[in-house]
């Protein structure tokens, strides 16, 4: 039996689909108020009879903050995939994010140890590896350094990963994956999928920052592969390519048949943008499109080599260009 947290999110929903397609049993954690629309859409793209596929999922109501519900949910479970996390770059949500990502992971690790599960896969992030000096690559061996360049999200993922390392020291068989920015046809108003909607809506500006990007299906495939190997106590960067935001936006624009952003956003423009959206959020209550942390990240250059994963498994990534084209096709079909 496989247990998945975050099954209603981008990575978790695609993991559930992959497991079901392989005939595996799936138990998934959900809150009473969870929105199941994304997992149903992903199932609809993958199965001729998505309703029957959905009914094969054993849904368990619970919270990462509720240890008792986790211990009960892990009864009869062999493998745990911890995909759930709060992702936010908004100051008002930082406290809740820290608690959910760190304490929630601690609770799940403790429950996994108590229930004696066979293996645990933790979906961390390259953000948990910290920020290297400008222009230098980050690797699995990079030591975390406290820095003002680390976002609150990065700090929370670093804290969550420490809880998994603590579990490993206490006897938990676990592997950690550190994806870069995960691309997939998710909720168009949130996460990386929102980049496609933003370009479709006429984004005018681009930056020359560079970041790592990876197809959500590659993240899932890497997780499942690593769970079959002898690699407990290891972590692996999962990233298909390091590309500039300028190139990313141009490829998205081409796939959506719209004009590409043509104005270079100089650093001072980013500083004005996040302040403008912060005030707009206060007045309208709508989440800011640009925050201090996202403006800072968009102009920096980050590099994430995947030498370790390729040497250990021979893993081959989908070209990011193909991923972008596929997501654009989904966007056009769902927003015709």
Beta bridge partners of 214: 182
Report the distance separating Cα 54 and Cα 47, nearest Å. 10
What is the pLDDT of the chain when averaged over all its residues? 87
Report the distance separating Cα 68 and Cα 73, nearest Å. 9
pLDDT at residue number 306? 95
Report the distance separating Cα 90 and Cα 15, nearest Å. 28
Report the distance separating Cα 101 and Cα 23, nearest Å. 30
For the chain, domain boundaries: 2-184+213-241+303-318
Report the distance separating Cα 172 and Cα 308, nearest Å. 22
Q: Using a CB cutoff of 8 Å and minimum separation of 24, what contacts does 44-47 make? A: 45/185, 45/330, 46/17, 46/21, 47/17, 47/20, 47/21
pLDDT at residue number 271? 44
Instruction: Sheet with 181-183: list strands edge to edge.
Output: 181-183, 210-215, 241-244
Nearest-5° Cα angle at 30, 174 to 124:
35
The tokens for 123 are: 């979906």
* Residue ranges of the chain whose pLDDT lies below 70: 88-92, 131-135, 148-149, 265-299
Quote the distance between the C-alpha of residue 314 and its chain's center: 22
Percent of the chain clearing pLDDT 90 (strictly above) = 64
Percent of the chain clearing pLDDT 70 (strictly above) = 86
pLDDT at residue number 96? 83
pTM (2 d.p.): 0.90
Give 157's contacts (C-beta < 8 A, 6+ positions apart).
85, 101, 124, 125, 127, 128
Quote the distance between the C-alpha of residue 207 and its chain's center: 22
pLDDT at residue number 242? 96
pLDDT at residue number 312? 93
The tokens for 75 are: 């009864």
Instruction: Please give the helix or strand (H or E) that residue 98 lies within, else none.
Output: helix 94-98
Q: Report the SS3 class of residue 229.
A: coil
CA atoms lying within 13 Å on the CB side of residue 286 = 8
pLDDT at residue number 326? 97
pLDDT at residue number 91? 66
Residue 47 contacts residue 75 (beta carbons within 8 Å): no
Nearest-5° Cα angle at 157, 19 to 216:
35
Give 8's contacts (C-beta < 8 A, 6+ positions apart).
30, 34, 35, 36, 38, 39
Q: How many CB atoms lie under 10 A from the CB of residue 49?
A: 10
Domain with residues 2-184+213-241+303-318, CATH architecture: 3-Layer(aba) Sandwich (3.40)
């Amino acid at each position: 039996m496989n247990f998945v947290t975050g099954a209603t999110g981008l990575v978790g929903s695609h993991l559930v689909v992959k497991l079901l397609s392989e005939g595996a049993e799936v138990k998934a954690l959900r809150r009473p108020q969870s929105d199941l629309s994304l997992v149903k859409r992903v199932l609809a793209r993958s199965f001729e009879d998505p309703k029957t596929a959905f009914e094969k999922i054993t849904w368990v109501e619970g919270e990462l903050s509720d240890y008792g519900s986790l211990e009960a949910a892990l009864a009869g479970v062999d493998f745990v995939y911890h995909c759930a996390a709060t992702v936010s770059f908004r100051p008002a949500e930082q406290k809740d994010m820290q608690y959910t990502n760190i304490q929630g992971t601690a609770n799940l690790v403790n429950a996994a140890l108590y229930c004696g599960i066979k293996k645990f896969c933790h979906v961390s992030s390259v953000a948990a590896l910290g920020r290297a000096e400008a222009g230098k690559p980050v690797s699995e061996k990079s030591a975390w350094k406290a820095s003002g360049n680390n976002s609150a999200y990065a700090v929370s993922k670093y804290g969550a990963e420490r809880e998994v390392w603590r579990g490993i020291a206490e006897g938990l068989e676990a592997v950690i994956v550190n994806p870069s920015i995960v691309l997939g046809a998710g909720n168009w108003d949130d996460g990386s999928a929102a980049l496609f909607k933003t370009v479709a809506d006429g984004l005018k500006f681009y930056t020359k920052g560079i970041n790592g990007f990876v197809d959500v299906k590659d993240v899932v495939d890497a997780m499942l592969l690593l769970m079959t190997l002898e690699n407990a106590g290891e972590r692996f960067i999962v990233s298909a390519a390091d590309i500039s935001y300028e190139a990313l936006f141009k490829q998205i624009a081409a796939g959506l048949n719209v004009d590409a952003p043509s104005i270079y956003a100089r650093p001072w423009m980013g500083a004005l943008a996040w302040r403008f959206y912060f005030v707009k959020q206060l007045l309208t209550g709508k989440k800011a499109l640009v925050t201090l942390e996202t403006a800072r990240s968009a102009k920096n250059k980050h590099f994430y080599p995947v030498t370790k994963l390729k040497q250990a498994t021979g893993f081959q990534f989908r070209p990011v260009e193909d991923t972008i084209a596929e997501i654009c096709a989904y966007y056009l079909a769902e927003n015709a």
